[in-house]
Amino acid sequence: MPRVILSFVLVLTWFSPSSAQHLLHTKNGKTQSSAQAPKRDQPLEFTLWEAQSDLRKRAGEPQQYFVPAIQKLIKPSELRYYSDNYQKVDDVFYRETAAGEVRILVGYARDESQGHLNPEIRVEKVHFIFDKDVNLRKALAAIQELRQLCSGGCILNGMSSSVVAQPASPSEAQIKLAHDMKPHWRGQDMSDATPGAEVFYVDSPYPVDFEHSPVERIDYTLISNAGRERYTMAIVNKQPTVLDVWHPHIGDPQIMAQ
């Protein structure tokens, strides 16, 4: 198996659809704490490659965390133990949307562009996990970050069991963001990469209907349509399915964050 394809498979395996579904229906629920962040007039929004320290200033400390290696939600009091033993721990937030409650996992990466000794910790990926069944376009429209990302229209390509969304005409800001993030994807061809999203569906014994099957989660991160197309061709020998361009309605009413 070519090195590029193998590395891509390893990146995807940490968060399989079945494990995400288990996380969604866990009985742990949200951690109750008197230290919860105050309610906001607007939902807390997430920005790729934002410094963790800046996000902390806006959002406060999370009241729950997620350990990808063992697919486990943990309390703040357990953070030090799991950070020491598993290193990678994601922040957990919740948001009420027009598609119901969404659990948000924020994953981080080390930005060593300014030096290896004291790297900046930045937002690498944001997972939006849906509590209720929702189809592709309603799921995309429920996420404010994606409505902004695709304000000029996003191309949608069905890749075997997921859909990749990328701006049809990336803005200068999106191109700069991709330039800043690309060095983190060492060993992968990200030449056409931009901020984008990949949509994953609820497990089913039936083939995925890209437009109508229920969406399980959306990953907001740096995306390469060309790279995902090559991966799909190499692994399942199937051309991507080109869907209609998505033009979000920026003014869609949304339920405010809790």
What pLDDT is attached to residue 40? Answer: 63
What pLDDT is attached to residue 233? Answer: 82
What pLDDT is attached to residue 33? Answer: 41
Helix-helix angle 3-13:225-236, to 10 degrees: 100
CB distance 126 to 77 below 8 Å: no
What pLDDT is attached to residue 21? Answer: 47
What are 88's two structure tokens?
């990678």
Q: What is the dihedral of CA 132, 36, 65, 25, to 10 degrees?
A: -30
What pLDDT is attached to residue 25? Answer: 44
Give the E-state strand segments of 168-226 in sequence order: 194-201, 215-223
Q: Which of 216, 189, 197 is nearest to 102 (CA)?
A: 216
The residues of the chain scoring below 50 in pLDDT are: 1-14, 16-22, 24-28, 31-36, 251, 253-258
Helix (H, G, I), strand (E, B) or coil at 223: strand
182-194 confidence digits (pLDDT tens) = 988 877 778 789 9
